[in-house]
Amino acid sequence: MINSHKILETIKMINEENLDIRTITMGISLRDCCGEDIDRVCNKIYDKITKKAANLVKTGEDIEHEYGIPIINKRISVTPISAVGESCNTDSYVKIAKCLDKAADETGVNFVGGFSALVHKGYTKGDRILINSIPEALATTEKVCSSVNVASTRAGINMDAVYEMGKIIKLTAEYTKDRAGFGCAKLVVFSNAVEDNPFMAGAFHGEGEPETVINVGVSGPGVVKKALEKVKGEDFSIVADTIKRTAYKITRMGQLVAKEASSRLNVPFGIVDLSLAPTPAIGDSVAYILEEMGIEKCGTHGTTAALALLNDAVKKGGVMASSHVGGLSGAFIPVSEDAGMIDAVNIGALSIEKLEAMTCVCSVGLDMFAVPGDTSPETIAAIIADEAAIGMINTKTTAVRVIPAPGAKVGDRIDFGGLLGHAYVMPLNKYKSDDFVKRGGRIPAPINSLKN
Amino acid sequence: MRAVVTVLGSDKIGIIAKVTAVLAEYNVNILDISQTIMQNIFTMIMLVDISKSNIPFSQLVDVLDETGKELGVDIKTQHEDIFNSMQEI
């Protein structure tokens, strides 16, 4: 009846190999909170979130305790605030951001995502107000995360929004310059954003989602790395197979927690995000998995191929382990949050160009990397445009979360703390893209958008 | 409901006696025990039935954790589903 080997394997994965549930994220619709008076809207938002998510953290902790599996974060995602705030007679949504922050404190969650706008084809009044509110909102709140979708395969790339986000990112860094531009760590610019993503900073509760929903994101790069250590020198079929088996087990854990949380909270289960999400802890790195495959340092030649194999095998292994898969699903490569990536940047093995190539074959994009403080808004916009183009053409989600740390020079170390880790400032191409990004308008949707 | 209790640590006299006494005190029924010394580490795994237990499960987890500290071993008590879901299709 007792299979000691299997029980001990599970315990070892949790205790020694950093297997954990990264997040239980409760999506909450705020569509019924609209109104003309922003103070009333804030009250409605606060009441709804604190009521719906009253037991979220407690339930997460109970599950953690009873099953012996760490659940690192409990989070909330809400309807994009650009839509919720649109009817308000106001020119700033900073008040709403502060209200979200207060609701996050009251419920005890780690983050609340959804200070967001979707402008891939153009702006509404609410979108404009939201985007203009981002720098101050992120500077005056702690737990609020913001995202803006500027491109999609169906709509093309809104280059006006891309350029504007270049400026907004610079401004956000400026507003939080006493904390090395920390505000930018809570701001993502998307192409093909998904509606059910449990991960931050890009989570929001999409249009097609129910009133409330539970989405779960798993983690476990350390477990995959350890599993690969046992098949040293074997060919790629065996490597892929080993990753698939491990991903299956990791995802089963996510499915169990998601179903349990959903039933205890009486909130429908949405999806499990088949993710490999690193943390700065040694032994919890995606880069180390690639290095285990035989890449001397993450970023050298062969890295993209290794990551492609990893990403695909994670999905293949995970997909059968969960009844509903969604979100971003894939291996994440946030530079500052991954010990191996941090090291690779520090010694010059990983460049921005290689990082961009890596984003073509995994989830999600150019994530949590620091660039010099004097980088122009135009250059940041051009970085966003490149990444958005990769997403648009390949029908995948891509994103940019860049920190132009004020005053920082190439090679400087920037500390964000906690799960966000630290980063060394990466060098960028010295030539300008100003005339390109200033053209404005939209890059048309690609031919592969015409699927009907 | 069933749970898995794992005890890991250095071997000494009375580990099983103490752990089973605690389980009996809280009306927890032992369904199966497997005990071995693996790489010099005392390893005991028990499958227990907690449906008639007289304290809430999360409290039992804490009590056994305390017992482990007194004995100088690591005791984990986990809902059995975590092992079933991970290891079975």
A351 and A414 fall within a common domain: yes
Encoded amino acid at A91, one letter: D
Residues of A in contact with B6 (CB under 8 A): 7-8, 11
A64 and A128 fall within a common domain: yes
Residue A80 CB neighbours (<10 A): 29
Range of the domain at A69: 25-191
A226 and A353 fall within a common domain: yes
Residues 6+ apart with CB under 8 A from B57: A66, B1, B3, B50, B79
Q: What is the pLDDT of residues A104-161, one digit of tens each?
A: 999 999 999 999 999 999 999 999 999 999 999 999 999 999 999 999 999 999 999 9
Q: What is the pLDDT of residues A53-85, one digit of tens each?
A: 999 999 999 999 999 999 999 999 999 999 999
User: Cβ–Cβ of B77/A68 closer than 8 Å?
Assistant: yes
Among candidate residues A165, A82, A156, the one with its CA nearest the CA of residue A120: A156
User: Cβ–Cβ of B81/A11 closer than 8 Å?
Assistant: no
Which of A156, A191, A226 lies at the terminal end of a domain, its last residue?
A191
pLDDT at residue A86 above 70?
A: yes
Three-state SS at B89:
coil
Largest CA distance in chain A: 70
Tokens 């006696």, residue located? B17
Q: How wide is the angle at C-alpha A288 spanned by C-alphas A286 and A294, nearest 5°?
A: 120
Closest approach of chain B CAs to the CA of A10, in angstroms?
Answer: 7
Residues of A in contact with B78 (CB under 8 A): 66-68
A173 and A249 fall within a common domain: no
A252 and A126 fall within a common domain: no
Q: What is the pLDDT of residues B30-67, one digit of tens each?
A: 999 999 888 888 999 999 999 999 999 999 999 999 99
A420 and A317 fall within a common domain: yes
A141 and A222 fall within a common domain: no
A131 and A244 fall within a common domain: no
The shortest CB-CB distance from A67 to any of B47, B79, B87 is to B79
User: Cβ–Cβ of B43/A256 closer than 8 Å?
Assistant: no
Question: Domain count of chain A?
Answer: 2
Tell me, what CATH number does A115's domain have? 3.20.70.20
Percent of chain A scored above 90 by pLDDT?
Answer: 91
User: Cβ–Cβ of B45/A6 closer than 8 Å?
Assistant: no
Computed on alpha carbons and rounded to an integer, the radius of gyration of chain B in Å comes to 13
pLDDT at residue A2 above 80?
A: no
Tokens 């961009």, residue located? A356
A157 and A225 fall within a common domain: no
A128 and A275 fall within a common domain: no
Question: Which tops the pLDDT comparison, A387 or B87?
Answer: A387
**pLDDT interval class at A1 (50, 70, 90):** low
Do the beta carbons of residue A335 and residue A423 sit within 8 Å?
A: yes
* Mean per-residue pLDDT over chain A, rounded: 95
Is A17 contained in some domain? Answer: no
Among candidate residues A307, A317, A385, the one with its CA nearest the CA of residue A344: A307
Encoded amino acid at A154, one letter: R
Q: What is the pLDDT of residues B10-29, one digit of tens each?
A: 988 999 999 999 999 999 99
**Smallest CA–CA distance from A260 into chain B, residue:** B81
Closest approach of chain A CAs to the CA of B79, in angstroms?
Answer: 5
User: Cβ–Cβ of A256/B78 closer than 8 Å?
Assistant: no
Supply the pLDDT for residue B39: 80
Q: What is the pLDDT of residues A184-227, one digit of tens each?
A: 999 999 999 999 999 999 999 999 999 999 999 998 899 999 99
Which ipTM was obtained for this model? 0.89
* CATH code, residues B2-87: 3.30.70.260
Check if A68 contacts B (Cβ < 8 Å): yes
| Beta strand extents in A140-281 (DSSP E only) | 144-152, 156-158, 187-191, 212-218, 269-276
A284 and A401 fall within a common domain: yes
